[in-house]
Amino acid sequence: MSDVYAQPSAAAQPASTDQLAQYTTLRLGGPAGRIATATSAEELVARVREANSEILLLAGGSNVVIGDVGFPGTVVLVRSRGLQVIAEDEQTVTVRVEAGEPWDDLVAATVRNGWSGVECLSGIPGSTGATPIQNVGAYGQEVAESITGVQVYDRVAGTLGRVDAADCGFAYRSSIFKYSERWVVLSVDFRLTRSPHSGAVRYAELARSLDIEVGDRVPLAQARDTVLRLRAGKGMVLDPTDPDTRSVGSFFTNPVLDGAGYELLRQRAADLGEPPAWPGTGDMVKVSAAWLIDKAGFGKGHPGLEGVAISSKHTLALTNPTGTATTRALITLAREIRDTVQARFAVPLHPEPVLINCAL
């Protein structure tokens, strides 16, 4: 999930002592040069226009890793809230949601109102405005399926506009907004189905937990409750009492390989059994990053330097369990995992969070 709206370049050491760690779920990140808050779309545009330095837009902070040097420019905290129905008919309802609206609050509201389309994305931390940037997805759903458009401020043209879903460039954990400094997401439009039941359940693990067949439907509240339980069991629902949730969730995306790449992986993993994989477009195959990491020798709870560790519940999450680690230590562990998986299986791993003034 993404919670940062631009990836700036590195610059000089900031002078402020306001630590950005307090605004991220990892509880990592050095000082900011300046911090401003935007509580509406209008304020967000104004803060961006008035800044005379590099800008970092930060919402829930759940999918960003900020370096120990911090960020030298202006950090704008996106705190706009609100949801309004902008169109509806007998079958559907379209809602416009402000960028700073907490994502899980929105999902809970859709379930209460009997609107189907994002229920399997329950429990994901962060803001609504960040979801199109990452094309957030989980348990068989992606926001690309329900987004109809994104209201934006174009920093290049200096104008307000709307990017229709067809022009968002949605792909696996990606969009035209990711790693782009041009667009500031102001609000997002979602078209949802009026139904007391979930969409067809596509994810095998979720179907098993619901005791149904893949393709069946269940009451919205049942789908949400089950997803929340599954995510909590993996340390993927924020909980101040659970140090495993002091993370950015999945640190690496699942690799997507062509036929030749997958066959090479199968050969290298012949002694480990069939690598978990899901078919994609053409001969492309998505493989499990968690499986690769575990089989490369990095199991649950694997310790790193200075207090960082792999989550005790899920090998894809790198954590700061004591709250006293450094970004340098986290990146060192991530680099060790990436390099070992590459050497063992010839499969590249790519980070899912946005990295600010740090790099693998």
For the segment 45-91, what is each residue's pLDDT rounded down to a tens digit?
Answer: 999 999 877 899 999 999 999 999 999 999 999 999 999 999 999 99
Going from the C-alpha of 157 to that of each of 9, 46, 113, 153, 356, the distances in angstroms are 21, 15, 38, 9, 25
Q: Which of 42-46, 113-117, 206-210, 281-285 has the lowest mean pLDDT?
A: 281-285
**Mean pLDDT confidence for 189-208:** 97
For the question of residue 173 being annotated catalytic, the response is yes
For the question of residue 43 being annotated catalytic, the response is no
Q: What is the pLDDT of residue 179?
A: 85
More confident of the two residues 8 and 263:
263
Q: What is the pLDDT of residue 338?
A: 98
**Mean pLDDT confidence for 158-164:** 97
Active-site residue, selected from the candidate residues 98, 119, 142, 352: 352
Please, is 228 exposed, middle or buried when counting C-beta atoms within 10 Å of its C-beta (0-12, 13-18, 19+)? Answer: middle
Give residue for tokens 């960003």: 64
Active-site residue, selected from the candidate residues 27, 34, 47, 173: 173
pLDDT tens digits, residue range 239-278?
999 999 999 999 999 999 999 999 999 999 999 999 999 8
Q: What is the pLDDT of residue 282?
A: 86
Long-range pairs for 335-339: beta carbons < 8 A, 24 or more residues apart: 335/360, 336/304, 337/252, 337/293, 337/296, 337/298, 338/252
Active-site residue, selected from the candidate residues 119, 250, 311, 338: 250
Going from the C-alpha of 317 to that of each of 64, 246, 262, 353, the distances in angstroms are 13, 9, 24, 11
Q: What is the pLDDT of residue 335?
A: 98
Beta pairing partners, 356: 66
Q: Check whether 18 has a pLDDT greater than 90.
A: no
Q: Check whether 7 has a pLDDT greater than 50.
A: no
